[in-house]
Amino acid sequence: MSEENKRDDRSAENKPPESETSAQPPTEAGAEAPVEQTKEEVTEPPSEGDAPVPERRKETDEEKAARRKATLEAREAAKAAAALAAAEAAKGGSSASAQPAGESAQGATEAPAAAAAGGSSASEGDAPVRRKETDEEKAARRKAALEAREAAKAAAAQAAAQGGAPAGAAGVGEGAGADAPPPKPPSPSQPRLDRVAAMLRELVAEDAVEEAYINEANDHLPTLVIKNERWGQAARLLRDHAELACAYLRNVSGVDYETHMEVVYYPWNMNAREGYCIKVRTDRESPSVASVTPIWETANWNEREIYDLLGVDFPGHPDLRRIMMPDDWVGHPLRKDYVPLDPEV
């Protein structure tokens, strides 16, 4: 329900902040005028075109339940279809085989719509004519369709990857056919990423690197996920190795991903003007990441801040205390599940 509300409040949340509303000359209207977003509408299948009921009525509880069930079923069906398509694609083993996946995905998007419509009309019973969809229903249907499509897309991508298709085709599950885009040229940072990953594996530990990829949006920044237990050693290597020489730690952030916590480091080599993004993951229950304050002094207050706001422990830190919140504060405010002890505060 809350999710549906959010979607419907879209127009409200896009309102500019209060301070802007005053003293706006009319000439500015063009730039930020509330043009209705059409993207969402596209995902809707062709309209039902049923006889409209003059006034919108409120859903009864049974209707709601029925609709919910129908949506769920539709979603399941879509997922199953996508999985099937994926299996087929994998069998085919070529980029062209993404076609069936795409098609079935499209089919899947229509399925929930039909099911949802069926669900609601079935539950009506005493209503003689099919009534117009309420906004909630529309939102729910839209959501289901979106999810189904996403699932299909993911499945298609996976299938393509398994089949050894070029990586470039993987991203376009939907409608990707014979004319798949040519494979992307390798990132200019790829050699650097491979090199640092190899060094970490060789000089720190075989299992030190959990993931390594290029963050293309961020100027092709080589990004590595380091195994938690190996982070202390890996940090030392990053700073001290003559080839890496990351003496400057630009930034440290903590992120709560709800499934786990992540501490993100940006060590930099100022002479070569290049650097890395290093991530270290830890569990949410007793989050702990080795402190790098002995290696980079920069980390000192940054780690204190992350401890204060996210509750991550940094064993090896010389003075791990709260830095922003008062010493007797309860909880760690930046955690996603944070509830203030005193709601008045």
Partner 1 sequence: MIRTEELLLNVGPQHPSTHGVFRIIVKLDGEVITEATPVMGYLHRGTEKLAENLNFTQIIPYTDRMDYVSAMTNNYVLCHAVEKMMGLEIPERAEFLRLIVMELQRVASHLVWWGTYLLDIGALSPFLYAFSDRERVLGLFNELCGARLTYNYMRVGGVKWDAPEGWIDRVKTFVKDMHFRLDEYHNLVSGNEIFLSRVKGIGKYDAETAISYGLSGANLRCTGVQWDLRKAEPYSLYDRFQFDVPVGKNGDCYDRYLIRIAELEQSLRILEQALEQFPGDGDTMGKVPRAIRPPAGEIYVRIESPRGEIGCHIVSKGKAEPYRLKFRRPSFVNLQILPKLLVGESMTNLVTILGGIDIVLGEVDC
> Which residues of the chain form contacts with partner 1 (CB under 8 A)?
10, 13-14, 16-17, 19-20, 23, 28, 31, 34-37, 39, 215, 217-218, 221, 247-251, 253-256, 264, 266, 270, 273, 277, 296-298, 300-302, 309, 322-326, 333-334
Which residue is listed with tokens 């509300």? Answer: 5
Q: From CA 278, how far away is CA 267, in angstroms rounded?
A: 8
Minimum CB distance to partner 1 smaller for 144 or for 295: 295
The least distance separating partner 1 from the CB of residue 72, rounded to whole angstroms, comes to 23
Contact 75, 150 (CB under 8 A): no
Minimum CB distance to partner 1 smaller for 8 or for 207: 8
Contact 274, 195 (CB under 8 A): no
The helix or strand, by DSSP H or E, that contains position 256, with its residue range, turns out to be strand 248-256
The least distance separating partner 1 from the CB of residue 273, rounded to whole angstroms, comes to 6
Minimum CB distance to partner 1 smaller for 58 or for 321: 321
Pick from 6, 4, 36, 3: nearest CA to 135? 4
* DSSP 8-state secondary structure symbol assigned to residue 37: P
Minimum CB distance to partner 1 smaller for 102 or for 254: 254
φ and ψ of 277, to 5 deg: -110, 120
Minimum CB distance to partner 1 smaller for 248 or for 316: 248
Q: From CA 162, how far away is CA 7, in angstroms rounded?
A: 35
The least distance separating partner 1 from the CB of residue 269, rounded to whole angstroms, comes to 11
The least distance separating partner 1 from the CB of residue 211, rounded to whole angstroms, comes to 13
Partners of 305 in beta bridges: none
The least distance separating partner 1 from the CB of residue 107, rounded to whole angstroms, comes to 25
The least distance separating partner 1 from the CB of residue 248, rounded to whole angstroms, comes to 5
Minimum CB distance to partner 1 smaller for 66 or for 238: 238
Q: From CA 234, how far away is CA 231, in angstroms rounded?
A: 5
